[in-house]
Amino acid sequence: MAKVLIATEKPFAAAAVSQIKSVFDDAGYEVFLLEKYEDKADLLKAVADVDALIIRSDKVTPEVIETGKNLKIVVRAGAGYDNVDLAAASAKNVVVMNTPGQNSNAVAELAIGMMIYQARGQFNGKSGTEIKDKSLGILAYGNVGKIVAKLGMAFGMQVFAFDPFVSAADIQKDGVEVVNSIGDLFAKCNYVSLHIPANDQTKKSINYALMSKMPAAAAVVNTARKEVIDEDGLLKMYADRDDFVYISDVAPDCAAEIAEKFPGRFYFTPKKMGAQTAEANVNAGIAAAKQIVNFLEKGDKTFQVNK
């Protein structure tokens, strides 16, 4: 009987856990649940004996892979897999997958929600601004970016996108204007919403040179990863431009300095909240469970990311 560990420091909604368990019950698998753990030793202990692992932003280090002697597959229930050491997994023939698209709507709704929250002065009783008629830049045009674009258009925003990996025709068919460079995107848009993964090419790539191109009333909205922002550039942008705000899920390392020097010009979620809806948890969790069963039973490697 295959053993599966669901290890989520930030737990799924209860409905998701029960639906994940029922997929594994049908397959005759044994399920172990490790939630809200504070010590990585707890994860190491729990992973020691299992064949498969479902995680969220939980860190899968070489030590986790090494300790999971029977581990055959890790599924990151979500999109970004920068928390998984792919090289360590590949070295031990452990398949790593994500569940692309399953939590995208939740993240996109949060991006728009945070824009409105900040535009309305975080509901402080004073006159705010509207997002209608403002320009919105989407970087990049993947599962989340696409939905943010659609929602932005529904709010009457003028929407632009930049994505070197998506054809102009595929972007234009959604009614979104294509720009030819990342610099153009920042130069045109009051709001730039980030939907890039964190990797060697993108870390610290959102820098002062880009942000300083933005027109008046500039807001960078980050529901991607905090690591993609160059924080020195961010602080310089704050200092140079009193019309600039940064809205992020989650806080940058320099959050305390921003809070002290630039009050009212930021909003940071206390914990990563983008995918934290019951619907997203159910979608991503069930997808992860089915991918594990399909892999263990039929060798199906669709969605493998360490190839």
287 binds ligand 3PG (CB under 6 A): no
Minimum CB separation of residue 291 from ligand 3PG in Å reads: 14
SS3 for 96?
strand
Span 247-276, contacts to ligand 3PG by CB under 6 A: 272, 274-276
Closest-by-Cβ residue to ligand 3PG is: 78
Q: Any alpha helices (H) in 125-167, and if so which ranges?
A: 143-154
CA gap 12, 276 in Å, rounded: 8
Minimum CB separation of residue 220 from ligand 3PG in Å reads: 17
Q: Between the CA of residue 254 and those of 10, 242, 246, what are the distances in Å?
A: 23, 18, 12
Q: Convert residues 79-118 into a mask of x (bound to ligand 3PG by CB under 6 A) and - (unbound).
A: xx----------------------x---------------
Minimum CB separation of residue 157 from ligand 3PG in Å reads: 23
Span 19-38, contacts to ligand 3PG by CB under 6 A: none
Which of 161/194 has CB closer to ligand 3PG?
Answer: 194
257 burial type by CB count under 10 A (0-12 exposed, 13-18 middle, 19+ buried) = middle
Q: Convert residues 47-76 into a mask of x (bound to ligand 3PG by CB under 6 A) and - (unbound).
A: ---------xx-------------------
Nearest alpha-carbon partner for 140 in 214, 232, 225: 225
285 binds ligand 3PG (CB under 6 A): no
**DSSP state at residue 286:** H
Residue 21 identity (one-letter amino acid): K
Backbone angles phi, psi at 12, to 5 degrees: -70, 160
Residues that bind ligand 3PG (CB under 6 A): 10, 56-57, 78-80, 103, 272, 274-276
